[in-house]
Amino acid sequence: MKDPLLCAHNLTKTFPGCDSPVIRDVSFCVYPGEVLTLVGPSGCGKTTTLRTIMGFEQADVGEVKYGETLLQGGGRFVPPEQRKIGFVFQDYALFPHLSVLRNVMFGIQGVPKARKRAIATEVLWMLGLAGLEDRRPHDLSGGQQQRVALARAIAPGARVVLLDEPFSSLDPDTRHTIRGEVRMLAERAKMAVVLVTHDQEEALSTADRLAVMRNGMIEQLGPPEFVYNHPANKFVAQFLGRTNLIECRADGKVGDTPLGKIELNSEAAGAVTLSLRPEHIELHKPIEGKPTGKVIAREFKGHDMTYHVRLGSAEYLVQTDAHCRFDVGDPATLKPRTPAAIVDDSRAEPTKNIRLPLA
């Protein structure tokens, strides 16, 4: 395994006048070429985490390391301008009176002006901004301004870049393009990128690994597919997309649910809560011997369809392709196509309980 470029260990921060910390025990590492996404609801501490890593805030407890260099911890505090970390703000924060080239040259220190100009020109070229060097920021589109902000962050030689909701004000197409460019840049330049977003789709599609935060803490960290398919708890399951939460009794890897006996992603014994995503359920004509529900609504979305199915006292969401045709009022049987994820085993019998390891 490669060595991490940046590591945060147990970062905890309480603002003056606040009773409790806004981030608690936040720990993660980012590797060369990797995009790590911090995602979570508004106010959960994403920006504070980035600002603490950058040195704009000082953590009460915890360490930040850049490679082997300690930036914060054990009484040491390296100021932001000496951290060699690039930071891109949500609102770009470009200097309006300076040209694109001068904006990018701004943070490059310790080299003659001609060298600064050469570095800035090369970075602008790399980000597809060649030819725009003499423009002012207000003569650029939002996407171009965001690329200039990114160029300014990496031009001083930063190998770690922190992006705080950098795409939120861009239109969906530009957002999509720049997300791809950031990924490519991280891979090619072997940079470590930490991206903050509250958009779960952006987090899932952009990240190599994502960390889901709530109330100042990381609830789960892992590859997007793993976290999406094996959420550690109800919050993570619901934050990353629609899901069906099902109460059941587990016996080993089998859950006795209103849908019938279904496979579980790990072993448990006793009362547990499951998460089963709508696209992980198939809808069938009634199958003999299996519980039968009734379609009570459907949402056509062009490329797929979501059915609302009442079964017993509960309502389930099932997502199929747009060709699976059930009408409202039709009877139907629900059949999981993947094992359901256990998201709450706090009421299960502890001794028999074996959870999946964290990714």
Of 14-22, 186-194, 279-287, 309-317: span binding ligand ATP (CB under 6 A): 14-22
**What's the first-to-final CA gap in the chain, in angstroms?**
15
- Cα separations (Å) of 332 from 9, 118, 287, 296? 50, 66, 8, 11
Determine the size of the site formed for ligand ATP (CB under 6 A): 12
198 forms part of the interface with ligand ATP (CB under 6 A): yes
Query: Cβ of residue 106: shortest distance to ligand ATP, in angstroms?
Result: 25
Residue 324 burial class via C-beta count within 10 angstroms: exposed 0-12, middle 13-18, buried 19 and up: middle
Of 43-51, 129-137, 147-155, 341-349: span binding ligand ATP (CB under 6 A): 43-51
Query: Cβ of residue 14: shortest distance to ligand ATP, in angstroms?
Result: 9
Q: Which of 6, 8, 48, 137 binds ligand ATP (CB under 6 A)?
A: 48
Based on CB atoms, which residue is closest to ligand ATP, 213 or 334? 213
Chain centroid to CA 184:
17
Please tell me the distance from the alpha carbon of residue 64 to that of residue 71, in angstroms, as a whole number: 5
Query: Cβ of residue 214: shortest distance to ligand ATP, in angstroms?
Result: 10
350 forms part of the interface with ligand ATP (CB under 6 A): no
**Residues listed for the chain:** 359
Query: Cβ of residue 194: shortest distance to ligand ATP, in angstroms?
Result: 13
Please tell me the distance from the alpha carbon of residue 266 to that of residue 10, in angstroms, as a whole number: 29
Instruction: Please name the helix (run of DSSP H) or strand (run of DSSP E) that holds residue 143, with its range, or none.
Output: helix 142-154
55 forms part of the interface with ligand ATP (CB under 6 A): no
Based on CB atoms, which residue is closest to ligand ATP, 42 or 351? 42
Q: Which of 22, 100, 120, 272 binds ligand ATP (CB under 6 A)?
A: 22
45 forms part of the interface with ligand ATP (CB under 6 A): yes
Instruction: Considering only residues 141 through 170, tell me which ones interact with ligand ATP, judged by CB under 6 A.
Output: none
15 forms part of the interface with ligand ATP (CB under 6 A): yes
Please tell me the distance from the alpha carbon of residue 154 to that of residue 103, in angstroms, as a whole number: 12
What does DSSP say about strands 293-300 and 304-311: parallel, antiparallel, or unpaired? antiparallel
Give the type of residue at 99. S
Based on CB atoms, which residue is closest to ligand ATP, 46 or 280? 46
- Cα separations (Å) of 39 from 44, 167, 196? 9, 14, 6
Q: Which of 46, 230, 280, 298 binds ligand ATP (CB under 6 A)?
A: 46
Query: Cβ of residue 160: shortest distance to ligand ATP, in angstroms?
Result: 19
Please tell me the distance from the alpha carbon of residue 121 to that of residue 129, in angstroms, as a whole number: 9
Residues near ligand ATP, by CB under 6 A:
15, 18, 22, 40, 42-48, 198
